Amino acid sequence: MAIIVREQRESSQYEKVYIGIDGAGSATETIAKEAAGRLSEEFGLLINMGITSHQFFQDQSISFKENNTAMCFDFDLPIGSAARADEICWEIVHAACDSSADPGVCILTLCMEDDGLREDVATHAGRERKTKIKEAYRELIRFGQTAKRERVTLERALETAELFPEIILKGEGLAGRGRIGAFACVGLRVGGDDGKFLGAYDMTQFSIRSFGSVAQYIGGFRANYDIDPLFADRSCSALGFHERLHLIPDAAGILDGGRFTVVCALGGDDMWTPYAEKDFNQMRSKKGSCDFFEMDPDEIERFQETKRRVCSACLYRKLTDDGYVCVAGHTPVK
């Protein structure tokens, strides 16, 4: 496991730590919430943005409970806290899981590509190490994206994890397959373009009126939730600060471009309405054609798919190295 060497940043007492949890069925969400709360109390720090739920490929050849989702969140923890974070997570896992569970926990400390490289960046060794760091994270993100579209093996997960010498990746149960989802959701969270944030966000408390400007409600999210949001249309293009929004009590957030993003739809009154949590949940559970499908008006971009309701013809696809990611709702793209 000697590919990446993470050196502590002398200019900071904190480092970003990603925590992924999977394999506990319906208890996975509860475990993630309790772990985030316990870690906040332990270190006196707030979770960054929130907990994201990541949907993976569903197939009869894959053993999973519920809907094959995993949870991920990240903290800026004091340097050297990863082992303690792992202990806390497993205390909660053991208390919540029964003997049929197959839980996995991944703790990954972010290695910034310029950490420890400033002195020798001009040397061949420095440049080589920087290249290896970048490639390791590309492989991590690629693994997460692949797990959304097809069956991935535990062997591949462990092989990719070997690129990170300080990663903590543990599993229990008969097969320990929870490690796959725990590792994959960390890759997706690091990539910044997948996941729905757990919970609903009450925007009605931001104003006594039923609507207001985007700029006003960005301030509301900052003050009430300590989140710097992006309000966007369904293609995840940012809305202007002057655009007007309807207020709803259960707005949902997704992770796109590394930001907490509130997806909105334009109504006939020229005002935008954020998608509610139930909208994403209904779409995620729906089988067959996607409720958010909209034909891409650019015929060239649609390739040969001129009529079928498929991802390659949809306006809300985002092309990746390995296929497509849905920016409208982050459902599995098969």
Which domains are delineated in the chain?
A: 14-191 (3.30.70.2200), 204-326 (no CATH)
Would you call 171 helix, strand, or coil by DSSP? strand
Residue found by looking up tokens 């002057």 in the block:
242
Q: Which pLDDT score is estimated for 13?
A: 85
Contact 72, 13 (CB under 8 A): no
Task: Name the region of 221 (left: φ>0; alpha: ψ -120 to 50; beta: rest).
Answer: alpha
Say if residue 208's pLDDT is above 90.
Answer: no
Q: Which pLDDT score is estimated for 313?
A: 73
Say if residue 291's pLDDT is above 70.
Answer: no
Q: Residue 139 burial by CB count (10 A; 0-12/13-18/19+): exposed, middle or buried?
A: middle
151-168: per-residue pLDDT in tens?
888 899 999 999 888 899
Q: How big is the chain, counted in residues?
A: 334
**CA torsion 102→61→137→327, rounded to 10°?**
-110
Global pTM reads 0.76
Widest Cα–Cα separation across the chain: 61
46-98: per-residue pLDDT in tens?
889 999 999 887 554 445 455 678 999 999 888 888 999 999 999 999 888 87
Residues 98 and 282: their CA atoms lie apart, in Å, by: 28
HSE-CB of 252 using CA atoms within 13 angstroms: 25
Q: If pLDDT is split at 50, 70 and 90, which confidence band does 325 have?
A: low
Please give the residue that has the higher pLDDT: either 111 or 274: 274
